[in-house]
Amino acid sequence: MLVSNGSGSHESRRRPLPYGRQTIEDDDVAAVANALRSEWLTTGPMVDAFESAFAQWVGCREAVAVNSGTAALHAAVAALGLRSGDEVIVPALTFVASANCALYVGARPVFADVDPSTLLLDPSEIVRRRTSRTRAVITVDYAGQPCDYDAIREIAGDLAVIADSCHAPGARYRGRSVGTLADISTFSLHPVKHFTTGEGGIAATDNPELARRMRVFRNHGIASSHREREERVTWWYEMVDLGFNYRLTDFQCALGMSQLGKIDEWINARRRIARMYDERLASVRGVQPLGVRPEVSHAYHLYVVRLTDEYGVPRDLAFRRLREAGIGVNVHYIPVHLHPYYRTRLDTREGQCPVAERLYREILSLPIFPAMNEDDIDRVVDMLRRIPGS
């Protein structure tokens, strides 16, 4: 049994600590219950209300709600007209969905390496990986830190830029809000992210035509919704494109609205937790938090550290020890090009993105979520400090 010698009650030391966790309060439950008692279960007034509220919060013109962050990425590549034969540059160190969306429309993801300090797409890689077929760059605001969008836009020139901002709602780059920095920015509303609708996603854009295409895309490629037809007393509809059923329900949008009202407070809590980790980890040898650039305001979906050689314990062993102690650490991510599907179908292999491959072996995501308290943070840091000596 572990002997506790730090602060915190015995109870809080034994409680399993996940790496991320949603916050659902009574007012969230009431908002969903109200929506369930209303006339519309699926596409109804709450969808519009949620989209408008999110767009206003981000400071973009349009937001399109869909039923997952992955669907938002799919809608984005479809709206931008990407198709078979096109290439899309995407960082290797991300969740598979960032790259899979290119495959959904027959395009080819081309993997780019990341900056060793921030693990964000290295803008110079766009030059290196670009060919005559390249049509777009997908950026990933890894862990919640915005990419260097000015550099990326300048280097990308006429390429479309899709921001996979699933980690970064509320983050800022040179004072500008994430959601306004790319042609389309996508967000996930999965429970482990900043705010949730159960499953869900939302795409932000300043371009009304791209928003219109994404709305058609989420509804089978049909140009009007059931509710619009009811209001106009018509049964007539036309399918103008091949779309999907990616609609988000009204009661999920009610949950999203309720959660959105609290997101600023939750992001502040995440920033406070990150600051406490920063302070405490400064004295732990070989545990190195990722770099944060001065021109950004970080949203901290993840708090990622590198366990360097100086730590003396391999990441996988440290991972096991922390999990045995009830601390829900995780690894984000296996570089996408190393997954079997990509190796066999796209002929990707080790050595293509050496920085991502090397750092993947060192990274560990520590627990971070708004309801974490100082005892929880001390418990994680104490354990990290003790592992090398035990």
Q: Based on the shown chain and the rule CB under 6 A, indicate whether residue 97 belongs to the binding site for ligand PLP.
A: yes
Min separation Cβ 192 and ligand PLP, Å: 7
Task: Please tell me which residue in 193, 218, 332, 337 is annotated as part of the active site.
Answer: 193
Residue 161: closest CA among 178, 144, 143: 178
Segment interacting with ligand PLP (CB under 6 A) among 65-73, 78-86, 224-232, 358-366: 65-73
Give the x/- contact pattern for ligand PLP in 161-200, rule: CB under 6 A. ---x-xx--------------------x-x----------
Q: Based on the shown chain and the rule CB under 6 A, indicate whether residue 98 belongs to the binding site for ligand PLP.
A: yes
Among residues 13, 20, 88, 94, which is the contact residue for ligand PLP, using CB under 6 A? Answer: 94
Residue 322: closest CA among 375, 366, 276: 366
Phi, psi dihedral angles at 206 (to 5 degrees): -100, 0
Could you identify the residue written with the tokens 């550290």? 305
Segment interacting with ligand PLP (CB under 6 A) among 67-75, 174-182, 204-212, 338-346: 67-75
Count Cα neighbours of 92 within 13 Å in the Cβ-side half-sphere: 29
Alpha helices in the chain (DSSP H): 10-14, 26-37, 45-58, 69-79, 96-104, 124-129, 149-156, 208-217, 226-231, 250-260, 263-281, 315-324, 340-345, 354-360, 374-386
Q: Based on the shown chain and the rule CB under 6 A, indicate whether residue 95 belongs to the binding site for ligand PLP.
A: yes
Q: Based on the shown chain and the rule CB under 6 A, indicate whether residue 259 belongs to the binding site for ligand PLP.
A: no
Could you identify the residue written with the tokens 């509710």? 227
Q: Which one, 44 or 200, has the nearer CB to ligand PLP?
A: 200
Instruction: Give the number of residues in contact with ligand PLP, rule: CB under 6 A.
Output: 14
Among residues 68, 118, 219, 365, which is the contact residue for ligand PLP, using CB under 6 A? Answer: 68
Catalytic residue status for 193 = yes
C-beta separation of 255 from 198 below 8 A: yes
Q: Which one, 311 or 333, has the nearer CB to ligand PLP?
A: 333
Structure tokens at 215: 């709305």
Query: Which residue has the closest beta carbon to ligand PLP?
Result: 69
CA distance 324 to 321: 5
C-beta separation of 68 from 187 below 8 A: no
Q: Based on the shown chain and the rule CB under 6 A, indicate whether residue 69 belongs to the binding site for ligand PLP.
A: yes
Among residues 76, 102, 120, 140, which is the contact residue for ligand PLP, using CB under 6 A? Answer: 140
Burial of 176: CB neighbours in 10 Å, binned 0-12, 13-18, 19+: middle
Could you identify the residue written with the tokens 């991972």? 319
Q: Based on the shown chain and the rule CB under 6 A, indicate whether residue 70 belongs to the binding site for ligand PLP.
A: yes
Segment interacting with ligand PLP (CB under 6 A) among 117-125, 159-167, 206-214, 225-233: 159-167
Min separation Cβ 27 and ligand PLP, Å: 23
Phi, psi dihedral angles at 219 (to 5 degrees): -125, 55
Question: Given the rule CB under 6 A, which residues bind ligand PLP?
Answer: 68-70, 94-95, 97-98, 140, 164, 166-167, 188, 190, 201
Catalytic residue annotation: 193
